[in-house]
């Protein structure tokens, strides 16, 4: 049978495209026949039935020849296309034009966020819908805001008389007096021609020559401009986009949804696009969809979107596929003026925003704005010694000097997330997946050991962000959250946005239960103004984490889900599900210990399981995040040549004391979440308490947060020396090779960034980690504040063998010797320090 395929399928690519096109046409027909709502009993020209609507759509798009003459140009061409199907336009586009509701929801959320911060609630708001057609967008906006009350004026601008007539009837039916339908070329539309008039169908008012002397609108500009599947139908899109840049108010928002095709290669050297998740369209898709839409004079070339992103600053951007109709690529994009208005109550100068954010990211003092881009560059070049600058500052200098928009992070409503290049291999290696959905460090012990105050400047590894939120409860001056994995920071961003925008009930569903059926709606309408573009893209791609009825939600996702699933599989296969439930329901330690020792421990702590599953390096890394160097430290402490035996001993030293000292279902959320994939109202991390939500949901609660997507070394080296007071590095030092200088390099950088008396807190799988001597040789005093000996617990997790506080006593100098471990004998080799 396989040998017959070449003779059946034509080899000519053009013929293959025609066949694929015919298949799509058939698919469209099936979709309209099965998905379109049933028609009203009475069928007329304004309310045609399903079959009649499809016939008109099919004829207008695929059979009717395009007419039009040179005298009337684009308007005649549009009328030729739309006149025969104007009455069924809305009925036939609902399934084809996906993303319109998302775009409207996103821009409405941006406007609502701005309105909440406006002193005057009677602000005059103007919305211009370019290529608005039948007015569907404007009516659909009423699902998010009251159009007659929220906007003082709404202008629907379209070049097709037939579609404009449908729109006029729509708004007459709705009785919306603030909506004006303007049948006009978008290139010539000016607000000053229409503001102050009462005519709902006004047209061209000024002489074209009048526009030669005008640089911008005299009425302040539009607060909102939208384009819904219209940019791809405008031949002279450059001039239209240029006119929109003048039309938009300095603090305005522009939203676009449209078809597109593009290769990821085009974006390799751009840092201002707002992320590239799902943006790449494969070769066949690019060829096919461009040819397909070209039949109807719809242009899908990448230059349309590229120029849009060049002329405006990108606030949010997302790419998707209409899988219902053959996986048509489309994008939703939100922008603002390229010269951004500051959200920091400062003048609208890009250089001032850059300077302020740079100062916040590097802990350097903010001095004064730099007056123009040349002096901005010269200050960096001539500084001796070189000024400490963030990577975001470096990227901004490049963009400003090249007349490019700033990276999208600079246009966010909040400046929590620091710019990073998402196309670097060190970030893409994680394949858009976080490892940890919850944090394993005990926040209660951290609080007791660190005693943070409002004068502290803290640097900590993000992980799942739980620890960052617990530190925020103490209101330190600054928190630098650092993680190389972008997805871990996306998770922290989501939690911070949820604190900022959601009531406690929704917050609890998301992060207490790990599931929320309305997550996608909340993401678009409530959370989006508080997220960076990359974070929004990520969560739009992963909404099923919270909404799927087939999964257990957030806490069974990420790399650590493998360990949780192994435990759950064992409870099923070995038949102790009831015993686990009884363990979680225990009210006393004696009751808990009895269930553990008699019914669960003999099964889950079997040596056979340890040898064949838990001691596997692949399992330890994928499920628990244990790298080979840390595993070697663990095995060395056990003084056993048998790795399986060493891992088994480590497990018993971890779990037995936990069972003996803390009631899992009452006061140990770390193991509770592993056993049932959700928290309870009586047992959860501190950041999930109602009082915590009350505190962290206050305005400005996270003003001191900076989220860095980078290595610790890169972030620490760009902090002003002597400004950091606390660094929490978790168990990351265990990952270093004892024979390499990497650990000494990081300790040196930490010494430089910390003030005298500053502290480093770490946990380790070893009782006495080899790198403690290196700390001591580089100006630190070591104190072991927790150790797992004789059945003791260092905290409620007890996953690590020891916990240390390293206090900086002196600054390192080029002559300071470094202690580098040369093996298990702990012999020390002295080398000169190079800074």
Tens digits of per-residue pLDDT, 575-630?
888 999 999 999 999 999 999 999 888 877 765 565 555 555 455 444 455 667 77
Tens digits of residue pLDDT in 180-221? 999 999 999 999 888 865 554 444 444 444 444 444 444 679
pLDDT mean over 133-137: 91
Residue 630: predicted pLDDT: 76
Nearest to 515 by CA among 715, 340, 676, 307: 676
Tens digits of residue pLDDT in 55-64? 554 444 544 5
Tens digits of residue pLDDT in 558-573? 988 877 887 788 788 8
Quickly count: other Cβ atoms within 10 Å of residue 654's Cβ. Answer: 16
Helix (H) / strand (E) containing 223: strand 222-228
What is the distance, to the nearest Å, from the Cα of residue 773 to the centroid of all Cα atoms in its chain? 40
pLDDT of 104 strictly over 80? yes
Residue 97: predicted pLDDT: 81
Residue 183: predicted pLDDT: 92
- Residue ranges in 175-247 assigned as alpha helix (H): 237-247
pLDDT mean over 315-320: 96
The highest-level CATH class for domain 443-499+693-832 is: alpha beta
* Average pLDDT along the chain: 81
pLDDT mean over 769-784: 95
Tens digits of residue pLDDT in 415-442? 899 999 999 999 999 999 999 999 989 9
Q: Under a CB-based contact definition with an 8 Å cutoff, are residues 692 and 473 in contact?
A: yes
Residue 618: predicted pLDDT: 52
Does residue 173 sit in helix, strand or coil?
helix
Classify residue 827 by burial, with Cβ atoms within 10 Å: 0-12, 13-18, 19+: exposed
Q: What percent of the chain has pLDDT over 70?
A: 75
Q: CA–CA separation, 178 vs 167, rounded Å?
A: 13
Q: Structure pTM?
A: 0.85
pLDDT higher for 47 or 669? 669
Checking 262-268 for CB contacts under 8 A at 24+ apart, the result is 262/286, 262/302, 262/305, 263/302, 266/302, 266/306, 267/423, 268/423
Q: Under a CB-based contact definition with an 8 Å cutoff, are residues 76 and 302 in contact?
A: no
Residue 653: predicted pLDDT: 87
Q: CA–CA separation, 392 vs 395, rounded Å?
A: 5
Does residue 757 sit in helix, strand or coil?
strand
Residue 830: predicted pLDDT: 33
pLDDT of 2 strictly over 50? no
- Looking at the DSSP assignment, which residues form a beta bridge with residue 728? 460, 761
Q: CA–CA separation, 339 vs 336, rounded Å?
A: 8
Tens digits of residue pLDDT in 257-297? 999 999 988 888 899 999 999 999 999 999 999 988 887 78
Q: How many angstroms separate the Cα of 644 from the Cα of each of 67, 537, 612, 619, 635?
A: 78, 42, 8, 13, 9
- For the ranges 336-350, 480-494, 645-659, the lowest mean pLDDT is seen at 336-350
Most distant CA atoms of the chain, gap in Å: 93
Q: Under a CB-based contact definition with an 8 Å cutoff, are residues 718 and 361 in contact?
A: yes
What is the distance, to the nearest Å, from the Cα of residue 85 to the centroid of all Cα atoms in its chain? 40
Q: CA–CA separation, 343 vs 25, rounded Å?
A: 48
Classify residue 817 by burial, with Cβ atoms within 10 Å: 0-12, 13-18, 19+: middle
Residue 612: predicted pLDDT: 52
pLDDT higher for 248 or 574? 248
Fold of 97-337: Rossmann fold (3.40.50)
| Domain assignments of the chain as residue spans, ordered by start | 2-92, 97-337, 343-403, 443-499+693-832, 556-676
Helix (H) / strand (E) containing 183: strand 179-183
Quickly count: other Cβ atoms within 10 Å of residue 92's Cβ. Answer: 22
Residue 529: predicted pLDDT: 97
pLDDT mean over 768-782: 95
Take residue 681 and report the two structure tokens written for it.
């109202």
pLDDT of 26 strictly over 70? no
Residue 611: predicted pLDDT: 55
Cis peptide before 385 (omega within 30 of 0): yes
pLDDT mean over 232-254: 93
What is the distance, to the nearest Å, from the Cα of residue 743 to the centroid of all Cα atoms in its chain? 31
Take residue 383 and report the two structure tokens written for it.
């500084």
Helices and strands, number each (H, E), in the chain: 37, 16
Classify residue 280 by burial, with Cβ atoms within 10 Å: 0-12, 13-18, 19+: middle
Q: What percent of the chain has pLDDT over 90?
A: 56
pLDDT of 528 strictly over 50? yes
Residue with tokens 């539009």: 222
Q: How many angstroms separate the Cα of 12 from the Cα of each of 1, 19, 284, 286, 509?
A: 21, 11, 14, 17, 54
Residue 459: predicted pLDDT: 97
Pseudo-torsion of CA 513, 517, 518, 523, nearest 10°? 60
Residue 370: predicted pLDDT: 42
Tens digits of residue pLDDT in 409-421? 999 999 899 999 9
Take residue 167 and report the two structure tokens written for it.
């729109």
Classify residue 175 by burial, with Cβ atoms within 10 Å: 0-12, 13-18, 19+: exposed
Cis peptide before 534 (omega within 30 of 0): no
Question: What is the DSSP annotation of 463-502?
Answer: TTSHHHHHHHTT--SEEEEE-S-HHHHHHHHHHHHHHHHS
Residue 376: predicted pLDDT: 46
- Phi first, then psi: what are they for 336, rounded to 5°? -150, 175
pLDDT mean over 500-520: 97
Measured distance between the N- and C-terminal CA atoms of the chain, rounded to whole angstroms: 69
Take residue 458 and report the two structure tokens written for it.
């803290």
Q: CA–CA separation, 733 vs 746, rounded Å?
A: 9
Residue 36: band (very low, low, confident or very high) from pLDDT cuts 50, 70, 90: very low
Domain 97-337 and domain 443-499+693-832 have a common topology: yes
Take residue 256 and report the two structure tokens written for it.
């676009």
Question: What is the DSSP annotation of 62-92?
Answer: IISPP---TTTHHHHHHHHHHGGGGGGHHHH
Does residue 430 sit in helix, strand or coil?
coil
Residue 144: predicted pLDDT: 96
Q: Under a CB-based contact definition with an 8 Å cutoff, are residues 539 and 487 in contact?
A: no
Q: CA–CA separation, 793 vs 670, rounded Å?
A: 14
Residue 395: predicted pLDDT: 87
pLDDT of 541 strictly over 50? yes
Residue 646: predicted pLDDT: 74
Question: What is the DSSP annotation of 652-706?
Answer: HHHHHHHHHHS-HHHH-HHHHHHHHSS-BTTB--GGGSHHHHHHHTSTTTTTTEE
pLDDT of 379 strictly over 60? no
What is the distance, to the nearest Å, from the Cα of residue 647 to the centroid of all Cα atoms in its chain? 37
Residue 639: predicted pLDDT: 63
Question: What is the DSSP annotation of 549-600?
Answer: SSS--GGG-STTHHHHHHHHHHHHHTT-HHHHHHHHT--SHHHHHHHIIIII
pLDDT of 452 strictly over 70? yes
Q: Which residues contact 421 (CB under 8 A, 6 or more apart)?
A: 271, 427
Tens digits of residue pLDDT in 142-183? 999 999 999 999 999 998 888 899 999 999 999 999 999 999
Nearest to 154 by CA among 219, 225, 256, 250: 225
Cα angle: 816, vertex 822, 826; to 5 degrees: 90
Checking 736-742 for CB contacts under 8 A at 24+ apart, the result is 736/629, 736/771, 737/629, 738/629, 738/770, 738/771, 738/820, 738/821, 738/822, 738/823, 739/822, 741/818, 741/820
What is the distance, to the nearest Å, from the Cα of residue 579 to the centroid of all Cα atoms in its chain? 40
Nearest to 229 by CA among 130, 118, 107: 130
- For the ranges 23-32, 501-510, 775-784, the lowest mean pLDDT is seen at 23-32
């Amino acid at each position: 049978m396989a040998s017959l395929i070449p003779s059946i399928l034509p080899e000519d690519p053009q013929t293959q495209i025609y066949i694929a096109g015919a298949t799509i046409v058939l698919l469209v027909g099936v979709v309209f026949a099965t998905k379109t709502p049933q028609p009203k009993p009475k069928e007329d020209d304004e309310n045609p039935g399903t079959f009649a609507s499809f016939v008109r759509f099919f004829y207008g798009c695929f059979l009717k020849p395009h007419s039009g003459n040179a005298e009337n140009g684009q308007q005649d061409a549009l009328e030729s296309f739309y006149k025969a199907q104007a009455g069924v336009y809305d009925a036939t586009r609902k399934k084809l034009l996906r993303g319109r509701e998302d775009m409207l929801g996103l821009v409405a959320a941006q406007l609502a966020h701005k309105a909440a911060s406006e002193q005057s609630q009677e602000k005059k708001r103007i919305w211009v819908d370019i290529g608005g057609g039948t007015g569907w967008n404007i009516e659909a906006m009423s699902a998010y805001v009251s159009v007659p009350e929220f906007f003082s004026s709404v202008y629907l601008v379209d070049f097709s008389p037939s579609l404009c007539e449908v729109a006029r009837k729509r708004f007459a039916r709705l009785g919306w007096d603030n909506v004006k339908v303007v049948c006009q070329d978008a290139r010539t539309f000016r607000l000053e021609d229409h503001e102050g008039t009462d005519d709902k169908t006004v047209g061209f008012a000024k002489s074209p020559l009048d526009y030669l002397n005008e640089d911008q609108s005299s009425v302040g500009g539009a607060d909102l401009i939208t384009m819904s599947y219209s940019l791809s139908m405008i031949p002279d899109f450059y001039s239209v986009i240029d006119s929109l840049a003048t039309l938009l108010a300095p603090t305005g928002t522009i939203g676009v949804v449209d078809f597109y095709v593009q290769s990821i290669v085009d974006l390799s050297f751009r840092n201002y696009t707002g992320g590239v998740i799902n943006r790449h369209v494969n070769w066949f898709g690019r060829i096919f969809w461009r040819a397909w839409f070209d039949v109807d004079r719809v242009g899908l070339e990448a230059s349309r979107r590229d120029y849009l992103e060049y002329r405006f600053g990108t606030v949010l951007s997302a790419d998707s596929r209409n899988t219902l109709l053959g996986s048509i690529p489309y994008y939703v994009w939100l922008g603002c003026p390229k010269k951004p208005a500051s959200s920091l109550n400062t003048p609208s100068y890009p250089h001032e925003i850059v300077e302020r954010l740079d100062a916040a990211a590097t802990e350097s003092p903010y001095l004064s704005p730099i007056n123009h881009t040349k002096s901005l560059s010269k200050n960096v070049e001539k500084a001796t010694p070189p000024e400490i600058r963030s990577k975001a500052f470096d990227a901004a200098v490049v963009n400003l000097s090249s007349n490019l928009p700033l990276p999208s992070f600079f246009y966010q409503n909040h400046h929590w997330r620091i710019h990073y290049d998402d196309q670097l291999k060190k970030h893409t290696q994680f394949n858009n997946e976080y490892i940890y959905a919850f944090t394993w460090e005990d926040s209660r012990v951290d609080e007791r050991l660190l005693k943070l105050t409002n004068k502290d400047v803290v640097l900590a590894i993000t992980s799942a962000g739980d620890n960052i939120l617990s530190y925020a409860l103490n209101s330190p001056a600054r928190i630098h959250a650092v993680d190389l994995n972008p997805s871990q920071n996306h998770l922290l961003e989501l939690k911070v946005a949820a604190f900022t925008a959601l009531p406690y009930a929704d917050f609890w569903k998301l992060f207490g239960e790990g599931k929320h059926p309305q997550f996608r709606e909340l993401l678009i309408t409530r959370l989006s103004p508080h997220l960076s573009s990359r974070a929004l893209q990520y969560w739009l791609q992963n909404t099923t984490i919270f909404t799927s009825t087939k999964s257990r939600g957030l806490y069974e996702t990420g790399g650590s889900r493998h360990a949780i699933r192994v435990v759950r599989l064992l409870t099923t296969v070995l038949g102790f599900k009831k015993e686990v439930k009884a363990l979680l329901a225990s009210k006393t330690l004696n009751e808990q210990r009895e269930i553990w020792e008699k019914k669960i421990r003999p099964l889950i702590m079997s040596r056979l399981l340890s040898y064949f599953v838990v001691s596997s390096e692949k399992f330890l890394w994928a499920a628990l995040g244990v790298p080979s160097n840390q595993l070697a430290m663990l095995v060395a402490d056990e003084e056993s040549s048998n790795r399986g035996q060493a891992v088994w001993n480590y497990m018993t030293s971890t779990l037995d004391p936990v069972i003996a000292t803390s009631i899992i279902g009452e006061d140990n959320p770390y193991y509770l979440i592993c056993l049932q994939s959700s928290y309870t109202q009586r047992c959860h991390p501190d950041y999930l308490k109602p009082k915590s939500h009350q505190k962290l949901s206050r305005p400005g609660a996270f003003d001191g947060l900076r989220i860095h997507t980078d290595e610790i070394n890169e972030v620490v080296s760009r902090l002003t020396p002597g400004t950091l007071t606390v660094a929490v590095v978790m168990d990351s030092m265990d990952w270093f090779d004892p024979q390499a200088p990497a650990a000494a390099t990081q300790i040196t950088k930490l010494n430089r960034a910390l003030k005298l008396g500053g502290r480093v807190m770490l946990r380790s799988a070893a009782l006495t980690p080899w790198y403690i001597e290196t700390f001591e040789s580089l100006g630190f005093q070591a104190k072991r504040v927790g150790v797992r000996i004789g059945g003791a617990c260092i905290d409620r997790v007890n996953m690590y063998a020891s916990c240390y506080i390293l206090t900086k006593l002196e600054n390192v100098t080029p002559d300071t010797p470094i202690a580098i471990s040369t093996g298990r004998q702990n012999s020390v080799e002295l080398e000169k320090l190079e800074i």
